[in-house]
A and B are shown apart, each in its own frame.
Chain A
Amino acid sequence: MDTDSDVLLEVKGLRTRFRTDDADVTAVNGANLRLRRGRTLCVVGESGCGKSVTARSILRLIDPPGRIVDGEILLRRDGSDGRPAETIDLAALKPTGRRIREIRGRDIAMIFQEPMASLSLVHRVGNQIGEAIRVHNPMPRRQARQRVLELLDQVEIPNPERTIDAYPFQLSGGMRQRVMIAMALSCSPRLLIADEPTTALDVTTQAQIMDLLVGLQHQQDMALMFITHDMGVVAEMADDVAVMYLGHVVEKGPVDTIFHDPKHPYTRALLDSIPRIGGARRERLSTIRGTVPAPADQPSGCVFRDRCDFVMPGRCDRIVPPPIDLGPERHVRCLLHGGAEPEAEVTTSQEAADAG
């Protein structure tokens, strides 16, 4: 069992809502996550499940009309760098305020899906990384430049002296993502959030970027929150896994238990849709029936019931499955595994988590 001091960031009952004139969309609906020091949490799910919104909520980077309406995001800072040890609720901070700005890039850094669109095309690489350094550690430009060269070398960019003065449009996709990583690592964050960082890259480059990330994570002993829809990536990188579906964390646990003993029908379906080398030759790759419904029209009861092969009529459409504790750090939200009593509806996820 993990001690409390292992937990770096805890998301409790996070609810992020986008309110527009014609719809009220709850993109994240009561998510609970725990990120532990030096470990990798993979958040998986199809597109539109609220993975990215969860990640952006942590750094308070949700653009209006989206906003956090409920929940806590607790960051535990240890007392390094002459700062006091404290626990900060990020969800309670002002999104443009000074306190969250001190945390962005310094305690928690983030890299994004499209390295082309995520870098400014009209500023030099050195300028963009150097700025990230100097905003938290004021230093002369010269010294920052030296640090940028070290960082570029660290992310294995050949010829840093040349790349530092290049514009992003002169670099390949893989190089741009390395630049993004260098920028994210510039202040040695305790947590790196990677939002599908390899999706826009070709397969060979994907593998290189993932190796790089894993290497740097061990070297710097930082926690990694890795968002992906690729179960293959999860198998390779994760210590812990959280499966998201339509704004809910439907199952979470250590990677081995998720792969060898998946409990939620959605997790099973995701695992079944991975192609296997050496599998039965004629076997068709299974897919998940239907598509993710628009978050605006969430089904009543269990959100997955419309696509579930094990749906129990009369129960799944009436009862919102509570988180069920299956062991240390292992939870599932499915009526097949208990929680059938209607009053379970009111059990908050927090109580369940505390029970575990």
Chain B
Amino acid sequence: MWAFVTRRLLYMIPTLFVISLVSFAIIQLPPGNFINTFVAELRAQGQGVDNAQVRALEERYGLDDPFLVQYGKWISGILLHGDFGQSFQYQRPVSDLIWDRIGLTLVLAVCTTLLSWAIAFPIGVYSAVRQHSVGDYVFTFIGFIGLATPNFMLALIFVWISFRYMGESVGGIVSPEYADAAWNLGKVLDVVSNLWIPVLIIGTAGTATLIRVLRANLLDELRKPYVTTARAKGLPEWRVILKYPVRMALSPFISTIGWILPTLIGGEVMVSIVVSLETTGPLLLDALSSQDMYLAGSFILILATLTVIGTLLSDLLLALWDPRIRHAQTAKG
């Protein structure tokens, strides 16, 4: 097992290297750079910009250097000093801007995952065990609606409902009165009370997918001979099902840890904009459109790294969960 963990950790190094290279290349891909965009904006507003001034700016940020040199400066700054570079737009170090947002994104990711599991597990098991029952059809119907409704739409509906009927303004994670307060019980409760709406909205599609996957997997497993064996021992039906086929059907749940983060980042951008959450999504979108390259690049790099770590975690958990994976890996390593 330890050999497996070590090997997986070593594999992460080349993966992360390639990711950093690719994320840097991607943010360089669009024609022009932040200074061009900035100058164009200024000109559009009727302000003149001196060419020499532009040249000076470009030199200062090293924008004329070849790709590899720029990449080298960027990545060595991160690895050696934890310096992600400067945000052009905010004129502040990138690291000042992103950690809060990444923290919030992670909190959202963890809460969403836990909520999806908590909802999907009982419904998925029920739908499979009572296949074709009324309950199964009802949950299937709700599940498909959950899958088909765009998240931003749900977000708008929630915002409207809570404003119209509960007189609460949905927006932000921390209510204005707590914005500058130190962390205390009140603030935590406030965050929790604001968090459930985005968690619910972002979780719907993922939950619906999980229900479908669990139901399909469990239906396959329920007819396998080992379930009959367990029944033939004289075990109660619920124990037969929970101990044997459900155990086999649960692997996709564990795999979700690996892919929840990328889906979340893709899926939450619009939701976050609608309910104005200070997560990574809106800021990343903003940075990309204004070609704030170090900010965008750092976001992409950090989120990709978290995804790689998530995948590693889910692989390790799967190995713990399923002895066949563990033994196959041990035999190899």
A interface residues with partner B (beta carbon < 8 Å)? 56, 59, 61, 63, 96, 101-106, 109-110, 112-114, 117-123, 131-132, 135-136, 167, 169-170, 180, 183
Cross-chain contact B327 with A170 (CB below 8 angstroms): yes
Q: Confirm or deny: B50 has a beta carbon within 8 angstroms of a beta carbon on chain A.
A: no
Residue B324 contacts which of A103, A109, A118, A167 (CB distance < 8 angstroms)? A167
B164-188: which have CB < 8 Å to A? none
Within 8 Å CB of A183, what residues of B? 229, 233
For this complex, 29 residue pairs linking A to B, each with C-beta atoms less than 8 Å apart, are: A56-B228, A59-B232, A61-B228, A61-B231, A61-B232, A63-B223, A101-B234, A105-B232, A105-B233, A106-B234, A110-B232, A112-B228, A119-B229, A120-B226, A120-B229, A120-B247, A120-B248, A122-B248, A122-B323, A123-B247, A131-B233, A131-B235, A132-B233, A135-B234, A135-B235, A167-B323, A167-B327, A169-B327, A183-B233
Cross-chain contact A122 with B247 (CB below 8 angstroms): yes
Cross-chain contact B327 with A118 (CB below 8 angstroms): no
Q: Confirm or deny: B230 has a beta carbon within 8 angstroms of a beta carbon on chain A.
A: yes
In the docked arrangement, what's the CA distance between A96 and B247, Å? 21
Query: A98 to chain B: closest CB distance in Å?
Result: 8
Contact A135 B237, CB 8 Å, known A112-B225, A118-B225, A118-B228: no
| Further 4 A-B residue pairs, CB within 8 A, beyond A101-B234, A112-B225, A121-B323 | A63-B223, A106-B234, A120-B229, A131-B235
Contact A117 B233, CB 8 Å, known A122-B322, A122-B324, A170-B327: no
Residue of B nearest to A112 (CB): B225
B235-269: which have CB < 8 Å to A? 235-237, 243-244, 247-248
Q: Confirm or deny: B224 has a beta carbon within 8 angstroms of a beta carbon on chain A.
A: yes
Residue of B nearest to A168 (CB): B226
Query: B161 to chain A: closest CB distance in Å?
Result: 42
Report the number of A-B residue pairs with Cβ-Cβ less than 8 Å. 73
Cross-chain contact B224 with A117 (CB below 8 angstroms): yes
Within 8 Å CB of B231, what residues of A? 61, 104
Within 8 Å CB of B230, what residues of A? 120
B280-333: which have CB < 8 Å to A? 321-324, 327
In the docked arrangement, what's the CA distance between A121 and B224, Å? 12
Residue of A nearest to B237 (CB): A96
In the docked arrangement, what's the CA distance between A135 and B231, Å? 11
- 9 A-B pairs with the lowest CB-CB distances in the bound complex, closest first: A104-B234, A105-B234, A117-B225, A132-B233, A118-B225, A105-B233, A101-B234, A110-B232, A120-B226
Contact A109 B229, CB 8 Å, known A63-B223, A122-B324: no
Residue A104 contacts which of B223, B232, B321, B322 (CB distance < 8 angstroms)? B232
Within 8 Å CB of B235, what residues of A? 101, 131, 135
